[in-house]
Structure 1
Amino acid sequence: MRSLSADRLLEKLSRPELATLYTDLKAYAERALKEPMPSLSFRLYRQFSDTGERKAYEEAYFDRRGRLAAVAMLALDTARPDALQALEEMLWDVCGEYTWCLPAHLGTGEINQVDGNIDLFAAETVHMLAEIVNIHTERLDLLVIERVRSEAERRIFKPLYREQRKFHWQTADHNWSAVCGGCCGMAALLLLEDEFTLQESISHTVSCMNAFLSGYGEDGGCAEGIGYWVYGFGYYTYYAEMLREYSDGELDLLTGSKIAAIAAFPLRVHLSGGTYVNYSDSAEQEEIPSGLLSLLASRFGLQGDLPLHIPLFTDDSCHRWAHLLRNVMWSDPAVYGDEGAFRQAECGFIFQNLGWMIAKGSLDTPDTKRTNSTPLHVAISIKGGHNDEPHNHNDLGQFIIHCGGENILCDPGAGLYTQAYFAPGREQLFHISSSGHNVPLIEGKEQSSGRQAQAHVLEAKLAEDGGELNTTFDLTFAYPGAASLACYTRQFYWKMASGDSRNRAELRLIDRFQWKSRMVSLAERSSSVVSDSHAECSSVVERWMSRVQPEVVKCGNIRWQGVHGTVHMTYDANQWQVLTEGIDTVDHDNVPVKFYRTSLSWTGVIDETDVCIESSDLIETVCEVRFIIEPKMVETEVSMHE
């Protein structure tokens, strides 16, 4: 991208597969030409330090970035001098901002915290300005170009490369090192004329990239989830390609088995229909930049099962220039799978380092053989790991049941980012707490935070065809507050139907709770403080989360009716009492969303002949449930599930 010409970029934009993107882009740009740039006022800037509110400032901030990016593309057309003039005004305006950082990344936002500070978005800004100036260098006013260079020097190059200030992200093992380091490094390759400082920037950026890679194991799994894979590894890739071009291929950061495994991550966590495993702060429906996916497919020979989709400019609320430009330049329809064919990239995968397990398969429907239509895709995903991961949720033992492009038993994903979301006590928030996940409440205690809260894998076996997955976790250390708990294990048995009965899949889940010899009396238990009101007299409350409202079919049988598939759950109603409740919250974009939590409560009355099994000085409580996944159109008698 160092020598990208405006003519070549305009030619790329004219390709048929980019027509919808270009229409969306032009509409945004035309609006930007008619309206003044939104102001980043003092009052907006102060909101975060005063109230913890960050959305209003960030909406204005990202709208400004979006207008600049869209107008920069519109200005490629030499018949639009109005767009070029507007581009110069916008570049000048962004150069005059008090800070390129977000207030949420500046503490209280005082001057000493602003001067020389570099966060994700200051880095993204300098990169965007550098590439826009590079593309339009022959037509922009020289004073605008010099101002961009001057602000890049003052805000980025001087503190980072010349003064060599230390920033926390330089050694981070997550997306910050790749995004901050990569963006500043790309801007340096484009703007710096001092060869000594340029070489310093390369050494610095490669060090940041190595820190980023240290957060990945050899399995290529991203603990932050698919959304942050896009962010972190996306910018890693963008810098790597620019560096390879700059060095005529001598410096290539996209080599080796570990990099190949990281590149394959989105295909391995894709379940079907553009829906992904979304642990941590990721969304189920994630926009994978088509340029990034195409480049990686080309470099590593990847063949995926994703349908062709080139994200619209307005799909990204942050309007990131790096994704936009590379979607235009690199998108290749040939690397995508055929939506009408069943071509899952892999039938399953165990991320040994990450502690994630995924199995995928397909079910026949009444129409599959008759009309040769696509089978119904189903999948299961299970999460281990620990509770001190980047963007951590307290979710050890969490699992997802997927059917027909929909996560029917689901993960809540990211909540709205506020000051409280990253502050002490964050584990009390719904999206982060174990109360928002498919894991139990034990003796009124949720899972704890911290590295010591770890899932120990006792067994993990996956059949080559993905048709069977058996795994067992020891999750005892996730519940240090449960005083009477001696041991807690969670077992999963996943099996796809075979032969002529390929119209169902089954997941058996067995939770075993072993208690210490001294059992808490019912009176003592009822006097304890419990977060769920219905669990005050319970030793265990199992929870299942879904966006689909559950139906109690009959005693011991619950059904979730999805768009294309149905999930039935059977359980022992003699031992476990059921409760369903709706939970209203907002998602990461502040859009209202409703989850339904289904709870199974054990009353705490121990009948050793029925509920418990004595083993030496330990008493065991068992919760076994069975989930049957079927196509929606198949009406199966409840008796089949019993």
Structure 2
Amino acid sequence: MVNPVEDSIHEVENENINQRGNESKVLSYLSADRLLEKLSRPELATLYTDLKAYAERALKEPMPSLSFRLYRQFSDTGERKAYEQTYFDRRGRLATVAMLALDTDRPDALQALEEMLWDVCGEYTWCLPAHLGTGEINQVDGNIDLFAAETVHMLAEIVNIHTERLDRLVIERVRSEAERRIFTPLYREQRKFHWQTADHNWSAVCGGCCGMAALLLLEDEFTLQESISHTVSCMNAFLSGYGEDGGCAEGIGYWVYGFGYFTYYAEMLREYSEGELNLLTGSKITAIAAFPLRVHLSGGTFVNYSDSSEQEEIPSGLLSLLASRVGLQVDLPLHIPLLTYDPCHRWAHLLRNVMWSDPAVYGDEGASAQAERGFIFQNLGWMIAKGSLDSPDTKRTNGEPLQVAISVKGGHNDEPHNHNDLGQFIIHCGGENILCDPGAGLYTQAYFAPGREQLLHISSSGHNVPLIEGQEQSSGRQAQAHVLEAKLAEDGGELNTTLDLTSAYPGAASLACYTRQFHWKRASGGSSSGVELRLIDRFRWKSRMVSSAEPFSSVDESDAGYSSIVERWMSRVQPEVVKSGNLCWQGVHGTVQMAYDANHWQVFTEAIDTVDHDNIPVTFYRTSLSWIGPVGDNDHRLEGHAPLETVCEVRFIIEPKMGETEVSIHE
């Protein structure tokens, strides 16, 4: 397919760009005076206080060292956290001191900035050891990973902002290191890197950061043109990982990362070319831009499949810019993330949050009644429905309706940052994912090594999906959810979807077919204040002759018998037994009650202690329903044959916390 951006590059005469020369490189959002003025705005007061506190500490303490021992930890033990914490602290110090040095009355900050720039230029590598294999010299020289690219971009913008005040030797050192580490291997020698054709965040981040640094630092116009062509090619590769629905398989955190840097480069290129080269055009870009609002459930909590967290910091500058360029409707309250909230202390987000954040484009979540009431990502295979309930506890909810939502995941088990989670679903109420997804685990060597699917955060054992005949879901593209039905009411109040998940369980020898149905709507009967989800799992078995005395049910998870089924539900909330056949999860603002057939299913809840992506301890409560038989309405069999079908039907009722009612599937 012809790309309009590539066409536009060929249509623009190179001389038109070349004639602009270095004077074009003074971009509007890299002005020291404008930055200082923006930092004085009232909506940035908290951010500025946060930056200043970090910077003042950095001025008093010596720069932490990236020692040899820290560098070797990853190859020796697989541990990456200690090195990376030091690495990102150094970036955070540099970023905040660069902001503090905007004040001409702080010569101490400017002197510290020069020392920090010099120090970062002297690092053995700008890459993370986790991206360098065993870390030998031949793996370091000329290597460019995400963070080498982020570093060159950061240095390029800082020296551009402070170019009138920095010592010329510091600026030349930055230019020299950018040339040696980035521009020569990438643009002059044209080495091949895996990320150049990646259909995920690496192509946008690596390509975009190097491309922005090139626009700011390169003086050789031929190489500059090469950088533009190269970067646009990377951006096209990145966009190829998205369908027309704009869905990001990597999750909301990686949408921020990948599409964020795509947008940052696109905006710099647009301004650099005086509007002649614009990557932020077309229906696909508009759909991608809308992704975070479509997966936002309420209260700053998002759908968090793959390696994302429920609570994600969406850069306010990024959303503001997208509102301006593609007409994005932001139905969220203004929130400007603090630098200290970002464990990587990313300069690109910080600078643009300061320069681009526009309170005028932000709405109010409660007042706007959600711009997106629900959405079906046809390409991605995600289904989301949203609604609201009147809460009896108006003090607790500030008088606002209680937001409720469900999300269902299809897709396949070979996605970027993949979890084996086909059929996974989330039940959300009042800003909280009560039946939840574990999100990202702690990144270690094992997290990306063969056998990773055995880790809780990645395995189907850590998701709301069944164990079948003792088998977890398998990895690979062949494990795919086939969407048989996906219907969402216009008002988002009702969702019906059916998935065929048979291919996810190739190890279940007796399984002929497994389908999962979801029916989400306002509750009928009982309490009228709630929403209900009926989930129906149907397991069809291959025919097998049995004697009249042969049992045909099992609760032993290790038993590969044809009717061994264990359903699982994950939550950070420990459920309570209401009565036989009824469980209740008590959230902060709402409750989720589950009714099941206690004659056929045995319930068991276990606490699982683990750590999250930031190495913070977290406890999940996994509730299991194990099939116990005997033969009944849930099984259909032919004379002399094993049962042909096992059915698990459960009913979830989601209500405001003060409106609990007991429900039963036997009505």
Same fold (TM over 0.5): yes
**Does residue 410 of structure 2 align to residue 384 of structure 1?**
yes
What amino acid is the match of 2:568?
A: R
The correspondence for 2:494, drawn from 468, 475, 500, is: 468
**Matched residues in 1 for 2:246 and 2:345: separation?**
27
Tell me what 1:562 maps to: 587
What amino acid is the match of 2:241?
A: G
Tell me what 1:165 maps to: 191
**Is residue 349–residue 357 contact of structure 1 (8 Å, CA) maintained in 2?**
yes
Point out the more displaced range, 358-367 or 178-187: 358-367
Tell me what 2:21 maps to: none
Tell me what 2:298 maps to: 272
**Matched residues in 1 for 2:337 and 2:575: separation?**
33
SS of residue in 2 equivalent to 1:596 = strand
Q: CA deviation at 1:333?
A: 1.1
Structure 2 runs not aligned, ≥5 long:
1-25
**Matched residues in 2 for 1:101 and 1:640: separation?**
56
Q: CA deviation at 1:107?
A: 0.2
Point out the more displaced range, 88-97 or 612-621: 612-621
- Mapping of 1:98-497 within 5 angstroms? 98-366=124-392, 373-497=399-523
Q: CA deviation at 1:614?
A: 3.1
SS of residue in 1 equivalent to 2:658 = coil
**Is residue 201–residue 257 contact of structure 2 (8 Å, CA) maintained in 1?**
yes
Point out the more displaced range, 76-85 or 516-525: 516-525
Deviations 1:241-271 (A, max 9, x none): 0000011101000000000000000000000
Point out the more displaced range, 297-306 or 538-547: 297-306
SS of residue in 2 equivalent to 1:630 = strand
What amino acid is the match of 1:241?
A: E
Tell me what 1:24 maps to: 50
**Matched residues in 2 for 1:529 and 1:495: separation?**
33
**Is residue 541–residue 562 contact of structure 2 (8 Å, CA) maintained in 1?**
no
Q: CA deviation at 1:407?
A: 0.2
**Is residue 161–residue 201 contact of structure 1 (8 Å, CA) maintained in 2?**
yes
What amino acid is the match of 1:282?
A: S
**Is residue 294–residue 374 contact of structure 2 (8 Å, CA) maintained in 1?**
yes
**Matched residues in 2 for 1:371 and 1:530: separation?**
46
Q: Go from structure 1 to structure 2 and tell me whether the alpha carbon gap of 1:223 and 1:592 turns closer, same or farther (over 3 Å shift).
A: same
Q: Go from structure 1 to structure 2 and tell me whether the alpha carbon gap of 1:10 and 1:385 turns closer, same or farther (over 3 Å shift).
A: same
**Matched residues in 2 for 1:502 and 1:310: separation?**
38
Q: CA deviation at 1:610?
A: 3.2
- Mapping of 1:502-541 within 5 angstroms? 503-518=529-544, 530=558, 539-541=564-566
Q: CA deviation at 1:298?
A: 1.5
**Is residue 487–residue 496 contact of structure 2 (8 Å, CA) maintained in 1?**
yes
Point out the more displaced range, 489-498 or 547-556: 489-498
Q: Go from structure 1 to structure 2 and tell me whether the alpha carbon gap of 1:342 and 1:503 turns closer, same or farther (over 3 Å shift).
A: farther
**Matched residues in 2 for 1:28 and 1:573: separation?**
56
What amino acid is the match of 1:122?
A: A
**Is residue 128–residue 322 contact of structure 1 (8 Å, CA) maintained in 2?**
yes
**Is residue 557–residue 564 contact of structure 2 (8 Å, CA) maintained in 1?**
no
**Does residue 637 of structure 2 align to residue 614 of structure 1?**
yes
**Is residue 468–residue 564 contact of structure 2 (8 Å, CA) maintained in 1?**
yes
What amino acid is the match of 1:436?
A: G
**Does residue 603 of structure 2 align to residue 578 of structure 1?**
yes
**Matched residues in 2 for 1:51 and 1:639: separation?**
52
Structure 1 residue runs of 4 or more that deviate by more than 6 Å after TM superposition: 368-372, 498-501, 519-529, 535-538, 615-618
**Is residue 420–residue 458 contact of structure 2 (8 Å, CA) maintained in 1?**
yes
Tell me what 1:82 maps to: 108
**Matched residues in 1 for 2:101 and 2:348: separation?**
17
Q: Go from structure 1 to structure 2 and tell me whether the alpha carbon gap of 1:514 and 1:498 turns closer, same or farther (over 3 Å shift).
A: closer
Structure 1 runs not aligned, ≥5 long:
none
**Is residue 538–residue 601 contact of structure 1 (8 Å, CA) maintained in 2?**
no
**Matched residues in 2 for 1:164 and 1:377: separation?**
52
Q: CA deviation at 1:364?
A: 1.1
The correspondence for 2:615, drawn from 590, 594, 602, is: 590
Q: Go from structure 1 to structure 2 and tell me whether the alpha carbon gap of 1:529 and 1:242 turns closer, same or farther (over 3 Å shift).
A: same
**Matched residues in 1 for 2:502 and 2:396: separation?**
50
**Matched residues in 1 for 2:85 and 2:39: separation?**
27
**Does residue 653 of structure 2 align to residue 628 of structure 1?**
yes
**Is residue 224–residue 282 contact of structure 1 (8 Å, CA) maintained in 2?**
yes
Q: CA deviation at 1:383?
A: 0.2
**Is residue 398–residue 439 contact of structure 1 (8 Å, CA) maintained in 2?**
yes
Q: Go from structure 1 to structure 2 and tell me whether the alpha carbon gap of 1:502 and 1:288 turns closer, same or farther (over 3 Å shift).
A: farther
Deviations 1:446-501 (A, max 9, x none): 00000000000000100000011000000000000000000000000000259997
**Is residue 600–residue 630 contact of structure 2 (8 Å, CA) maintained in 1?**
no
**Is residue 126–residue 152 contact of structure 1 (8 Å, CA) maintained in 2?**
yes
Q: CA RMSD in A?
A: 2.3
**Matched residues in 1 for 2:153 and 2:530: separation?**
50
**Is residue 278–residue 411 contact of structure 1 (8 Å, CA) maintained in 2?**
yes
**Matched residues in 1 for 2:81 and 2:249: separation?**
26
User: Normalising to structure 1: TM-score of the pair?
Assistant: 0.96
Tell me what 2:5 maps to: none
Percent identical among aligned pairs is 88
Deviations 1:36-66 (A, max 9, x none): 0110000100000000000000000000000
Deviations 1:328-365 (A, max 9, x none): 00001122222552521211000000000000000012
**Is residue 2–residue 190 contact of structure 1 (8 Å, CA) maintained in 2?**
no
SS of residue in 1 equivalent to 2:659 = coil
User: Normalising to structure 2: TM-score of the pair?
Assistant: 0.92
SS of residue in 1 equivalent to 2:478 = strand
Q: Go from structure 1 to structure 2 and tell me whether the alpha carbon gap of 1:56 and 1:66 turns closer, same or farther (over 3 Å shift).
A: same
**Is residue 566–residue 627 contact of structure 2 (8 Å, CA) maintained in 1?**
yes
What amino acid is the match of 2:161?
A: I
**Matched residues in 2 for 1:519 and 1:372: separation?**
62
Deviations 1:494-544 (A, max 9, x none): 00259997511000000000001127997899798839xxx9996100000
What amino acid is the match of 2:130?
A: A
**Matched residues in 2 for 1:500 and 1:213: separation?**
48
**Matched residues in 1 for 2:476 and 2:485: separation?**
23
Q: CA deviation at 1:634?
A: 1.1
Residue-pair matches, total? 637
Tell me what 2:626 maps to: 601
Q: CA deviation at 1:313?
A: 1.1
SS of residue in 2 equivalent to 1:379 = strand
**Matched residues in 2 for 1:422 and 1:520: separation?**
44
**Matched residues in 2 for 1:66 and 1:519: separation?**
67
**Is residue 203–residue 238 contact of structure 2 (8 Å, CA) maintained in 1?**
yes
